[in-house]
């Protein structure tokens, strides 16, 4: 149990005298009491309430310090003041009344100077916490005697002599203000999971129990369902585990909740909230109709029954369950979506298409109940032996670059071609018109072939959504000298010779953290990147490059002038898409036909599947 201790010394105090009935004693360094005929004295003391309303006061002590040594036995009694007063204007004649309920008394015999009188005022403070009006205490002496204590204006070097109020209290939890489902939202479950918040900033901070009430009307005199004190350490209730009868389709329910902390303090009831039950629509995927697709960009078709579609989303997962594509959520009545090129890249591999549909109701997602209806279809990309393949496939390296040109024949133009490298689709929809050379001859140029590495190519014909089989294959090993930085769209090819090893890394956004109480640190990774670093080399006229040194320099400057554009970097046994920066073309003294070039690069593709 966590409690709050408050010690207050900034009191407002004074006293009044019967024999000086119109005199004020504001600013005195003492408060005096007396019970002598004709010379009565009352002390008045007030502290601003040092806690919020509604708390539980565990203890409360008022401490007054003796001003002079006394030898007689005296009893001092505290009574709660019952109306307002100010220490600047209070006199015997206008003194406020007091409550005779629950006086607090302390008796002292011999009392040396600086003796502390401690009054147990917990009952009074609890009344104040409960909302009773608070005006402070009146102090009186019961015997025919008198006594003096130091006031809030007193000061003694090295001693705390001012009146002190010390209170220890705990707060009840805040009433739940966040509830789910609520605000008239919709669920599709007859017995959903109810969730709410538990906040106890200065109390126990740990939930012990809660109580949920539900009813068909906004009256909880006799609720139709009441959990009573439900022991739990998490602020949620799965109604399927209770005796709740469940909601019929279209039924509205009112509910409220309160929470209890480990000090057994209950919060106030939450505001009453409502939710409905409404069945979801049904989604049926029409295409693909079965467990196979015959093209790499299949159309996804679906139908919706039992309601009205307002929004939709199509997602694709691979056989490992990882998301590889999303259409994004779209708000319209469309019932079809074509998977774009580059999503399905391999045959014989499972792909899972999921269609999500949102209807026109304001649904709230709760555990076990999404805000949308869904359907999915697991398929495998396969080929069709009835579709005629291409013929006469030839692969050639376009020296001096590591670029590979594919040429082939087909008697009739298909709807499209599919180009694969090492079993992976690199061009999913190649239109015949874009590939046509003349007559029945076609070509495709692969600008991302990896130099020095054997690669196997195949070209497939697609007719009426079916991919040809069997298909011819060609294996080739592109060779090149140096490294190449290329922008085929602008016909820019820059060759660097005598290349240094540069600096390489595969960037990560990560950090080491030491969890509270853990014996070892953990590494938290937020992002993994591909290759990045810097390279430098020599640009020179050579037998493997027909361009002059000036033409090569102009090409390099053209690449530099397009910051942020993606280029192809081919070196060693790999070819990667990159963006470049900090490009420097420097002259080499006494070597007019040579330039030194350096640049930094950042891969635009991670060479592995990221699983975070």
The tens digit of pLDDT for each residue in 435-490 reads 999 999 999 999 999 998 899 999 999 999 899 999 999 999 998 788 899 998 89
pLDDT of residue 467: 93
Most confident residue range from 284-288, 348-352, 449-453: 284-288
In CATH terms, 282-381 corresponds, of 2.60.40.10, 2.40.40.20, 3.40.50.300, 3.40.50.970, to: 2.60.40.10
Q: What is the DSSP string of 353-382?
A: EEEEEEESS-B--BTTB-SSEEEEEEEEE-
Q: What is the pLDDT of residues 420-431, one digit of tens each?
A: 999 989 999 999
Please say if the pLDDT value at position 362 is more than 70.
Answer: yes
Dist. CA 149–CA 164, nearest whole Å = 12
- Tell the residue number behind the tokens 């609890």, with chain if given: 126
**Across 139-154, average pLDDT:** 95
**Fold for the domain defined by 492-603:** Elongation Factor Tu (Ef-tu); domain 3 (2.40.30)
The model's pLDDT over 399-408, given as tens digits with 9 standing for 90+, comes to 888 999 999 9
8 Å CB contact between 186 and 358: no
Phi and psi dihedrals of 484, rounded to 5?
-130, 135
Of 280, 303, 217, 297, whose CA–CA distance to 254 is shortest? 217
Q: Does residue 516 surpass a pLDDT of 80?
A: no
Q: How far apart are CA 493 and CA 451, in angstroms?
A: 15
User: 3-class SS at 444?
Assistant: strand
* CA 192 remoteness from chain centre: 24
Mean pLDDT in residue range 529-546: 88
pLDDT band for position 2 (cuts 50, 70, 90):
low
Query: Which conformational region is residue 87 in: left (phi greater than 0), alpha (psi within -120 to 50 degrees), or beta?
Result: alpha
**pLDDT tens-digit series, residues 249-268:** 999 999 999 999 888 889 99
Using DSSP's 3-state secondary structure scheme, residue 202 falls into coil
Kindly report the CA angle at 557 between 556 and 558, in degrees rounded to 5?
90
pLDDT in tens, 63-120: 999 999 999 999 999 999 999 999 999 999 999 999 999 999 999 999 999 999 999 9
Q: What is the CA angle 263-266-268, rounded to 5?
A: 150
Q: Is 334 helix (H, G, I), strand (E, B) or coil?
A: coil
Q: Confidence class of residue 200 from pLDDT cuts 50, 70 and 90?
A: confident
Element (H, E) at 458: strand 455-463
Domain 179-277 belongs to what architecture? Sandwich (2.60)
CATH no. for 391-478: 2.60.40.10
pLDDT band at 612 (very low <50, low <70, confident <90, very high): very low
**Residues 6+ away with beta carbon under 8 Å from 336:** 299, 300, 301, 302
Two tokens, residue 66: 């003796």
Nearby residues of 300 by Cβ (< 8 Å), 6 or more positions away: 285, 287, 288, 314, 336, 337, 338, 339, 353, 355
CA distance 11 to 152: 6
In whole angstroms, what is the distance from residue 356 CA to residue 373 CA?
6
Beta bridge partners, 79, equal 138
Q: How confident is the model at residue 524 (pLDDT cuts 50, 70, 90)?
A: confident
Nearest to 28 by CA among 67, 63, 85, 61: 67
- Same topology, domains 282-381 and 391-478? Answer is yes
Q: How many CB atoms lie within 10 A of CB 427?
A: 20
10 Å CB burial of residue 22 (0-12, 13-18, 19+) is: exposed
Instruction: Region of 319 please: left (phi>0), alpha (psi -120 to 50) or beta.
Output: alpha
The pLDDT of residue 129? 94
Question: What ranges do the domains of the chain cover?
Answer: 4-170, 179-277, 282-381, 391-478, 492-603
Q: How many residues does the chain have?
A: 612
To which residue do tokens 């499972």 refer? Answer: 350
Tell which wins on pLDDT, 7 or 507.
7
Q: Could you tell me if residue 457 is left (phi over 0), alpha (psi between -120 and 50 degrees) or otherwise beta? A: beta
pTM (global) more than 0.85: no
How much of the chain is helix, strand and coil, in % rounded to 5?
5, 50, 45
377 DSSP β-pair partners: 353
Dig out the tokens for 104 from the structure.
């607090």
């Amino acid at each position: 149990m966590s409690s709050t201790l408050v010690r207050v010394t900034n009191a407002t105090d004074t006293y009044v005298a019967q024999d000086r009935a119109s005199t004020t004693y504001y600013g005195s360094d003492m408060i005096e009491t007396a019970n002598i005929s004709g010379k009565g004295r009352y002390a008045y003391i007030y502290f601003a309430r040092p806690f919020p309303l509604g708390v539980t006061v565990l203890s409360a002590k008022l401490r007054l310090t003796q001003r002079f040594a006394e030898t007689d036995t005296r009893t001092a009694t505290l009574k709660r003041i019952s109306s307002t007063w100010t220490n600047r204007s209070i006199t015997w004649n206008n003194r406020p009344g007091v409550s005779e309920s629950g006086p607090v008394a302390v008796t002292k015999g011999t009392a040396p100077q600086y003796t502390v009188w401690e009054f147990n005022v917990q009952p009074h403070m609890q009344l104040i916490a409960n909302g009773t009006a608070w005006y402070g205490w009146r102090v009186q002496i019961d015997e025919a005697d008198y006594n003096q204590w130091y006031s809030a204006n007193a000061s003694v070097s090295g001693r705390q002599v001012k009146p002190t109020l010390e209170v220890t209290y705990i707060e009840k939890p805040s009433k739940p203000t966040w509830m789910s489902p609520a605000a008239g939202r919709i669920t599709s479950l007859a017995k959903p999971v109810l969730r709410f918040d538990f906040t106890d900033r200065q109390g126990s901070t740990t939930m012990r129990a809660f109580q949920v009430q539900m009813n068909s009307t906004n009256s909880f005199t006799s609720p139709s369902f009441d959990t009573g004190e439900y022991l739990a350490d998490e602020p949620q209730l799965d109604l399927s585990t209770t005796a709740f009868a469940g909601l019929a389709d279209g039924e509205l329910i009112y509910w409220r909740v309160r929470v209890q902390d480990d000090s057994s303090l209950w919060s106030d009831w939450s505001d009453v909230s409502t939710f409905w039950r409404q069945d979801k629509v049904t989604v049926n995927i029409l295409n693909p109709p079965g467990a196979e697709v015959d093209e790499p960009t299949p159309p996804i078709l679906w139908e919706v029954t039992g309601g009205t579609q307002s929004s939709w989303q199509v997602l694709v997962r691979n056989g490992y369950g990882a998301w590889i594509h999303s259409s994004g959520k779209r708000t319209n009545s469309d019932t079809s979506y074509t998977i774009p090129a580059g999503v399905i890249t391999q045959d014989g591999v499972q792909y899972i298409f999921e269609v999500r549909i949102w209807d026109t109701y304001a649904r709230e997602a709760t555990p076990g109940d999404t805000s949308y209806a869904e359907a999915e279809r697991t398929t495998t990309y396969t080929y069709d032996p009835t579709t005629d393949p291409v013929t006469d496939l030839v692969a050639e390296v376009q020296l001096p670059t590591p670029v590979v040109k594919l040429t082939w024949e087909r008697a009739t133009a298909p709807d499209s071609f599919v180009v694969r490298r090492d079993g992976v689709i690199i061009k999913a929809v190649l239109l015949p018109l874009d590939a046509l050379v003349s007559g029945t001859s076609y070509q495709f140029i692969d600008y991302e072939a990896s130099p020095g590495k054997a690669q196997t190519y195949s070209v497939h014909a697609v007719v009426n959504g079916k991919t040809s089989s069997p298909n011819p294959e060609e294996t080739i090993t592109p060779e090149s000298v140096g490294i190449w930085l290329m922008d085929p769209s602008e016909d820019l090819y820059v060759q660097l010779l005598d290349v240094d090893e540069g600096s390489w890394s595969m960037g990560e956004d990560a950090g080491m953290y030491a969890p509270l109480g853990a014996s070892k640190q953990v590494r938290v990774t937020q992002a993994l990147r591909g290759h990045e670093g810097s390279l430098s080399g020599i640009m020179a006229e050579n037998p493997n490059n027909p361009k002059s040194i000036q033409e090569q320099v102009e090409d390099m400057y053209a690449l530099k002038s397009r910051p942020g554009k993606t280029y192809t970097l081919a070196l060693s046994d790999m070819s990667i898409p990159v963006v470049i920066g900090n490009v420097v073309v420097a002259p080499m003294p006494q070597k007019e036909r040579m330039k030194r070039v350096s640049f930094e690069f950042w891969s635009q593709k991670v060479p592995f599947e990221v699983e975070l």
